[in-house]
Amino acid sequence: MTKPQSKREFVPDPLSQEINPLRDKEAISFDRSMGRIVDGEPLPGDELIVIQHMRQSPQLVEQIERHLAMDAMLFAEARCDSRAFVESVRVAIEAEETKSVFVRSVQEAIFGSTFGRSGLKCDAGDSSGQSKKWLGHSISLVLACSLLVASLVAGGVWNAAAIGEPVLVEVDRVDGTNAFSVGDKVDLRALVLPEGSVDLRLPSGVLLECQSPLMARFEHPMRLHLSRGRVDVDVGEEGVGFTVVTPVGEVVDLGTRFAVNASVDGEVRVAVLSGQVELRSQKVGTVSLVDGEAVRLSKTESPRRLHSVEIRNHGINNARKDAVIHSVSDNVALPKTRRFYGLVPCGMRDGVRAFRDRKTLRWEADPSDDFPEGLLGADLIQTFQTHRFQREFELQFSISQPSRVYVFYDARYNPPDWLTRDFINTGIRIRSVGWQPAAVVAKGIEPDAWGKLAIPHDVWCRDLVHPTSVVLGPPVLSKHDLNTTSEYEGVKPSMYGIAVQPIAPPSKNIGKSLLERTRVQVLSVSTQR
Amino acid sequence: MAKKKTNTKWFMEQVENEQSGLKGFIRMLGVRPESVDDIAQETFVIAYRKLTMFERGTNFGAWLRTIARNLVRNELRRQGRRRVLANDVAEFLLSRADEKSTHPSVEVEQAEQHEQRVSALRECLQKLPERSRRLVQQRYFEQLSLGVIAADEETNANNVSQILFRLRSALSDCIQKQLGNIGT
């Protein structure tokens, strides 16, 4: 039901407009085809219809240009990440500077085939010392690889004869393995990583973050066959089109960053961390995934939603090796919904990305205070705004150890019953910062002193002294609030955020900070219940 | 070295000034929304490489748009990448853009009006009825596909496309009124 139109109303409700039955059928057909092309989802025949009409009428050309221009303005308004874009251009320009490299080849040590060394300049380092280091690395890598290769060959997974061309890679980061050192330059055809993780940079600028146990081989510098393990791919400007080939199909990068995980049972998981990819397989044909979407693929089943993905952040000093949060999921059953929850171990901090479907939004401290110490280093669940309208929404996750669960709820609204029943309001607030002026959720918010639009979130908490499952409800308004004549009528709260911090057994905790004192109170309340 | 630093500083200032208008231009050539930033960034990097060929005092934005047009043209020729929409439509729009480039005064006028149009758009978005605002939110802010929006609104993807079509038309008319232009 639409509101009555007032004289001040500049924008009539398009949803209430009926299509004029007297309007020319040809014009209607053109509008529909053009609309689908602008929306990026044309049907067969749309392009021909639009081209034919545009050739006959300049006015129709202006019409499609007008729609594309409006579409561009709306996308620009939604993203509004001009700072990040300018910074990315700055980085790209600085990368124009070329650097001298030191090259080695490990290939002979592993597969016994001969590859020439690249004729690049050596740096000013001690080449003899580095040669010894290379030999040491080769030996440990050979020993490690032989065990893994043997096991995989026995399982019929690896075909050592099907090897492509060597690719020169630079080692950017190493963790938990002696196979490489940072700064190594190696010619690789195949990569076998039985332990630890490494980041490898390819000549095109593509960054591969490889997590063991992993087996992969290069067909050529823009094509990697992944037999087992997880690879996070971050393509630069020249790397668009980089393809990861898996046992169930290909993942083609169309811009930026994604993760692929191939497991021994033949299932492949693909998550888009930024940008867009295309999945191509015989089972599903071609499927596009965008930022915030993930799927599970197998040879025998249709694609299924992948509910959660661990987000790697190597900038975090991860003192805790065991994850606290497991198996995040929700009860949303819309067709074609592929949103995933990001799990960031030890990821909660000032400035961390808040939502998986809004790359500009960050969690930040309230302006009047520091970022709450009790939240720092908590495991973060990056939720998303998409389903906050669903009144029957439920989000469920499990925890593996005694923990404090935090929910960051939109402070502008009365909290829902499920929150007040099971959680305590700590009295502390943080903010989600970076909302766009046209965002429905941010309506009525005035820019802060720095010109940013921020929504305050109350920090609620609940202590769970045993591993258990947690079920959270929708962020929609409680029954009490639905009866109010709020100035935010028609506008719903932001989706809430979640973090989980492991806690020591109750007897060992003597609270000193406000959060600690609150924790003690929570336990007392729980006992009394 | 000092000269290079000065050039870089000047160049980054141009990036800040031109990036919004350039992205809009690239989209109007039929590039997919999710690839607009890619091509805009490529455009700036190429412009930086060729900076010695640019004469200061001339229209930097127009020069960028020339580079962008060539990039999009290359995209249409490549196999494998799909950063543009329907190829034939994009070719047509590209030809139009080539013709317009011979009339730089039109481009300068459009660039000057850009900030005013953005302000007008924000006002018009605030005036949208709730359902329309929700659709804009879902499509542009949450970047949901037509199918997902359709399921949420309990309709089909074709209807959603048509509603978005009417919505864009309505917003465009609203912007024109805000800017004081009668008729489009």
Domains in chain A: boundaries: 104-309, 323-528
Q: Do residues B90 and B2 share a domain? A: yes
Mutating which of A1, A74, A252 best tests the B interface, going by the most B Cβ atoms within 10 A? A74
Clarify whether residues B68 and B22 are in a common domain: yes
Q: Is residue B133 part of a domain?
A: yes
DSSP A287: E
Classify domain A104-309 by CATH architecture.
Answer: Sandwich (2.60)
Chain B residues 79-108 within an 8 A CB cutoff of chain A = 80-83, 85-89, 92-93, 96
Its ipTM equals 0.84
d(CA A442, CA A436) in angstroms, rounded, equals 7
**pLDDT-above-90 percentage for chain A:** 19
Instruction: Assign residue B119 the CATH number of its domain.
Output: 1.10.10
**What local confidence, expressed as pLDDT, does residue A281 receive?**
79
In contact, A178 and A137? CB cutoff 8 Å: yes
Chain A hits for B170, CB-CB cut-off 8 Å, are 11-12, 14
Band of residue A495 on the pLDDT scale cut at 50, 70, 90: very high
Contact (CB<8Å) A11/B174:
yes
How far is A48 from A27, CA to CA, in rounded Å? Answer: 14
Sheet of A341-344, strand order: A308-310, A341-344, A379-382, A497-502, A403-410, A454-464, A424-433, A358-365, A352-355
pLDDT computed for residue A143 by the predictor: 36
Q: Contact A73/B121, CB-based, under 8 Å? A: yes
Q: Are B44 and A89 in contact (CB under 8 A)?
A: yes
What is the tens place of the pLDDT at every residue in A318-373?
555 567 898 798 988 656 578 899 999 899 999 999 999 888 899 999 888 889 99
State how far the Cα of A222 lies from the Cα of A273, in Å rounded to an integer: 19
Q: Of B59, B80, B102, which residue sits at a domain end?
A: B102
Task: Specify the higher pLDDT residue, B113 or A66.
Answer: A66
User: For the whole model, what pTM was predicted?
Assistant: 0.51
**Confidence class for position A164, pLDDT limits 50, 70, 90:** low
CB–CB of B82 and A65 under 8 A?
no
My answer on whether B97 and B159 are in the same domain is no
| Residue in B50, B136, B176, B47 with CA at minimum distance from that of residue A77 | B136
Number of domains in chain B: 2
Note whether B136 contacts A: Cβ–Cβ < 8 A: yes
Residues ≥6 apart with Cβ < 8 Å to B170: A11, A12, A14, B132
Q: How many residues does chain B have?
A: 184
pLDDT tens figures, A117-141: 222 222 223 333 333 333 333 333 3
- What pLDDT is attached to residue A122? 22
- Domain assignment present for residue B108? The answer is no
What's the pLDDT tens digit per position in A279-295? 887 767 788 888 888 88
Whether residue B117 and residue A2 make contact (CB cut-off 8 A), yes or no, is no
pLDDT for the residue A480 = 57
- CA-CA distance, A130 to A118, in Å (whole number)? 16
Residue A423: predicted pLDDT: 95
What would the pLDDT profile of A83-96 be if each residue is shown by its tens digit? 667 776 776 676 55
pLDDT tens for A413-441 read 888 889 999 999 999 999 999 998 877 78
As a whole number of angstroms, the distance between CA A513 and CA A178 comes to 41
Residue A165 CB coordination number (10 Å): 12
Q: Is there a contact between A96 and B45 (Cβ–Cβ < 8 Å)?
A: yes
**Mean pLDDT to the nearest integer, A174-191:** 82
Is residue B83 located within the same domain as residue B123? no
Chain B residues closer than 8 Å to A392 by CB? none
Question: Å from A426 to nearest chain B CA?
Answer: 31
Task: Identify which of A4-13, A140-149, A247-256 has the greatest average pLDDT.
Answer: A247-256
* Contact B172/A at CB under 8 A: yes
Residues B136, B70, single domain; the answer is: no
Interface touch B93/A64, C-beta < 8 Å = yes
Q: Is A10 within 8 Å of B33 when comparing Cβ atoms?
A: no
Q: Which residue of A has its CA nearest to B96?
A: A61
Task: Please state the separation of Cα A191 from the chain's center in Å.
Answer: 25
A440: nearest CB among B44, B85, B137: B137
Q: What is the pLDDT of residue A154?
A: 34
* Per-chain mean pLDDT for chain A: 73
End position of a domain, from candidates B56, B80, B102: B102
How far is the CA of A369 from the CAs of A430, A453, A515, in angstroms?
Answer: 9, 18, 14
The pLDDT value recorded for residue A358 is 84
Among A31-45, A444-458, B61-75, whose mean pLDDT is lowest? A31-45
Of B76, B102, B128, which residue is a domain's last?
B102
Instruction: Supply the DSSP symbol for A452.
Output: -
Q: Which residue has the higher pLDDT, A393 or A264?
A: A393
B107 belongs to a structural domain = no
Per the DSSP assignment, residues forming a β-bridge with A173 are A199
Whether A245 has a pLDDT exceeding 70, the answer reads yes
Which residues lie closer than 8 Å to A524 by C-beta, 6 or more apart? Answer: none
Q: Locate tokens 């320009």: which residue?
A: A93
The reply to whether B178 falls in a domain is yes
Strand A285-290 versus strand A294-297 pairing type: unpaired
Contacts of A19 in chain B (CB under 8 A): 162
- Same domain as B77, residue B41: yes
Give me the pLDDT at residue A92, please.
67
Report the C-alpha gap between A16 and A378 in whole angstroms. Answer: 47
B76 close to A (CB below 8 A): no
Q: Cα(B153)–Cα(B131) distance, rounded to whole angstroms? A: 10
Compute how many other C-beta atoms are within 10 angstroms of the C-beta atom of residue B103: 9
Q: Is pLDDT above 80 for A7?
A: no
| Residue range(s) defining the domain that contains residue B73 | 1-102
pLDDT of A71 > 60? The answer is yes
Residues A388 and A475: beta-carbon distance below 8 Å = yes
B10–A contact, CB cutoff 8 A? no
Q: Is B22 on the interface with A (CB under 8 A)?
A: no
- Pick the most confident of A38-47, A51-60, A378-387: A378-387
**CA distance linking residue A325 with residue A329, whole number of Å:** 11
Q: Does position A395 have pLDDT exceeding 90, yes or no? A: yes
Q: Could you tell me if B2 and B91 lie in one domain?
A: yes
Q: In this complex, do B151 and A336 lie within 8 Å of one another by their Cβ atoms?
A: yes
Q: Are residues B64 and B42 in the same domain?
A: yes
C-alpha distances (whole Å) from A29 to each of A16, A45, A52, A123, A320 are: 20, 11, 12, 64, 60
**Considering only A7-11, A63-67, A253-257, A481-485, which range has the smallest mean pLDDT?**
A7-11
Pull the structure tokens for residue B158.
């074709």
B125 part of a folded domain? yes
Q: What residues in chain B have per-residue pLDDT under 50?
A: 80, 182-184
Do B148 and B97 sit in the same domain of this protein? no
Q: Are strands A223-234 and A249-262 parallel, antiparallel or unpaired?
A: antiparallel
Q: Do both B67 and B139 map to the same domain?
A: no
| Cα dihedral B71/B76/B77/B78 (nearest 10) | 80
Cβ atoms within 10 Å, residue A404: 23
User: Quick one: pLDDT at residue B23?
Assistant: 87
Q: How far is A290 from chain B (nearest CA, A)?
A: 9
Confidence of residue A81 (pLDDT cuts 50, 70, 90): low
Instruction: Give the pLDDT mean for A500-513.
Output: 57
In contact, B64 and B18? CB cutoff 8 Å: yes
| B146 lies in the same domain as B172 | yes
- Is the torsion defined by CA of A415, A416, A417, A418 positive or negative? negative
Q: Is there a contact between A440 and B134 if contact means CB atoms under 8 Å apart? A: yes
The answer to whether position B109 is within a domain reads no
Q: Give the pLDDT of residue A208.
A: 92
Chain A residue at shortest CA distance from B37 = A85
Same domain assignment for residues B95 and B128: no
> What span, in angstroms and rounded, lies between the C-alpha atoms of B24 and B30?
10
- CATH number for B13: 1.10.1740.10
H/E stretch holding A28 reads: helix A25-38
- pLDDT score of A103: 20
Q: Is residue B142 part of a domain?
A: yes
Whether B48 is in a domain gets the answer: yes
B23 touching chain A per CB within 8 A:
yes
**Per-residue pLDDT, A479:** 55
